[in-house]
Amino acid sequence: MTGSADATIASVCRRERRALVTLDTDFGDIRAYPPAEYFGLIVLRLERQDKSQVLSVLERVVTLLTVEPLQARLWIVEADRVRIRD
């Protein structure tokens, strides 16, 4: 879905009950994308967006999934922390 409009991506994720992992910080706006309406939203807010940095952060996120529910939540993931909003 690369290049698709945010609204299209959001609609597909809701309809198919898919979690969204994105570098697009627009999805961090809970007024536009209320977490309760989604299976889960993970927004990566990284200063460096090179492959090695993104993969490193995603490894940490995958580990966190074993102890924190994702459904109906927004995770804002930075290089050194994760903030979770319901």
What residues have CB less than 8 Å from 17, skipping those under 6 apart? 39
Determine the 3-state secondary structure of 36 from DSSP: helix
Q: How many CA atoms lie within 13 A of 83 on its CB side?
A: 7
What Rg do the C-alpha atoms of the chain give, in angstroms? 12
Give residue 2's pLDDT: 83
Give the pLDDT confidence of 18-66 residue by residue, as tens digits.
999 999 999 999 999 999 999 999 999 999 999 999 999 999 999 999 9
Whole-model pTM above 0.85?
A: yes
